[in-house]
Amino acid sequence: MTNGDHVATAMRMRALLHGHLVSRALTVVARLGIVELLTDGPLTAAELASRTGVDPASLRRLLGALAVFEVFDDLGDDKFGVTPLGATLHPECPGSTLPTALLLAQDFGEIWHDLAETVRDGGDAIQRRFGVGLFEHLQQNLELHDAFDRSQARGMELEAAEIFEYVRFDAGGTVVDIGGGDGSLLAEFLTRQPGRRGVLLDVPATADRALANLEKAGVADQAERSSRATSSRSGLSAERCTCCAMGEFNRSLQHRAAVVSVAAPRRPRPGSSSRGSCGVGY
Ligand SMILES: C[S@@+](CC[C@H](N)C(=O)[O-])C[C@H]1O[C@@H](n2cnc3c(N)ncnc32)[C@H](O)[C@@H]1O
C-alpha cells in the first residue's frame, strides 16, 4: 500500500468513527427545523439562531461542521444554504429523511450507547433498558411510535420502486402485508395492480393509519378494519400469521394486532402514485 493509499484509508476510518457525531448533529438540526427555514434561500447563522432560539455561535459551528459533510453550503459572511443532501431533511421532500432523524433523536438513537453491553451479554437493549420489547415499548410511547411509523413509511417511498422491479407477484389473488406499517407498500402495490385485494396486519394504532392512508391513496374501494387478527373478509387467522411472520409476531401481541382488508378499484386513479421533487434550497 502506498503512503497515499494508507492516508486515504485511515481518513476513511476516521470518518466512519465520527459517523455517530454526524448523526447527532443531524438530529439537532432536524429538531430545530433548520432545513425548512432555508427553503426560500440562504440565511445567516445569526438569523437562524434568532428564529430557533438557540446560541448563534454554537449553531454556526454546527452548521459549519455539517457543511464539511455536504449537508449545508457554507457561503461565507455567516450565510448558510442547504445542499441537495440536506434538502432530503425537508418534510415535503419525497422519501423525506426527517422522520428518521426525529426517530434517532429519541430512544432509538440513545439505545446505541448500550451496544457494548448487548454484545457482551447477547441481550436485547430495549428490553434491558425499558423492561419490554421493541414493539411494546413503541405502543407505550406514542410520540416514538409515530416517529417510527413515519420513518418506515418514508423509507418505503424510496424503496418501493426497486421492490416492484425485483419482486414478481402472481396474477390474481390477495396480497397480505404482515407488519405492513402505515400501508405505503400495500398502497403502491394496489395502485400498480388495480382490482387486486390486499390485507394488512399491524398493531391497532398503525393499522388505523394504514386504513386512512389506503383510503387517501384511492386504493380502498371497500375497506374493512377488524380489531382481531382474524377476519371473515380477509380469511387471515392468527395461527397463519405466526407462520408467515417467522416468529416476529409473538403470541401475546398477535391477538392485539388489527387487520385492514381492502379491495382496490379496477382502474388506477390518475396521478395517485406521482411524486413531486424536493425543490428545496436549489
Ligand atoms: C420494521 S416495521 C416494517 C414496516 C413496513 N412493513 C415497512 O417495511 O416499512 C415492522 C412492523 O411490524 C409491526 N409489528 C411488529 N410486531 C407486531 C405484532 N406482534 N403484531 C402486529 N404488528 C407488529 C410494527 O408495528 C411495524 O409496523
User: Structural domain boundaries of the chain?
Assistant: 3-92, 94-168, 169-270
Classify 133 as helix, strand or coil: coil
Q: Which of 202, 227, 243 to mutate to test the pocket of ligand 1 (most atoms within 8 A of CB)?
A: 202
Per-residue DSSP letter, 231: B
DSSP, collapsed to helix, strand or coil, labels residue 200 as strand
CATH topology for 3-92? Arc Repressor Mutant, subunit A (1.10.10)
Distance in angstroms (rounded) separating the CA atoms of residues 31 and 105: 8
- Give me ligand 1 centre to Cα 146, in Å: 13
The reported pTM is 0.81
Helix/strand/coil for 143: helix
- Closest residue (by CA) to atom 21 of ligand 1? 202
pLDDT of residue 109: 92
Block mean pLDDT (10 aa), the chain, length 282: 90 93 97 97 98 98 97 98 98 96 94 95 94 90 91 92 84 83 90 87 87 90 70 47 44 63 68 43 36
Confidence (pLDDT) at 3: 86
Closest CA to 44 of 63, 30, 18, 21: 63
Residue 6 grid cell:
494508507
Separation in Å, CA 247 to CA 19, 33, 207, 208, 250: 33, 39, 20, 23, 6
Q: Which three cell numbers stand for residue 170?
A: 402472481
Under 8 Å between Cβ of 190 and 264: yes
Which of 139, 164, 206 gets mutated to test ligand 1 (max ligand atoms within 8 A of its CB)?
A: 206
Q: Are 153 and 182 in contact (CB under 8 A)?
A: yes
Residues with CB under 6 A from ligand 1: 135, 152, 156, 179-181, 201-203, 206, 248-250, 253-254, 257
Q: How far apart are CA 255 and CA 228, in angstroms?
A: 6
For residue 278, the model assigns a pLDDT of 53
Question: What confidence score (pLDDT) does residue 247 get?
Answer: 45
Taking the CA atoms of residue 11, residue 12, residue 13 and residue 15 in that order, the dihedral angle to the nearest 10 degrees is: 90
- Give dist(CA 174, CA 5) in Å, integer: 54
**Alpha-carbon distances of 86 from 44, 73, 106, 162, 212, rounded to whole Å:** 16, 9, 20, 23, 30
CA dist., res. 129 & res. 23, Å (int): 22
Instruction: Give Cα 111 to chain centroid, integer Å.
Output: 17
What residues pair up with 38 in beta bridges, in sequence order?
A: none
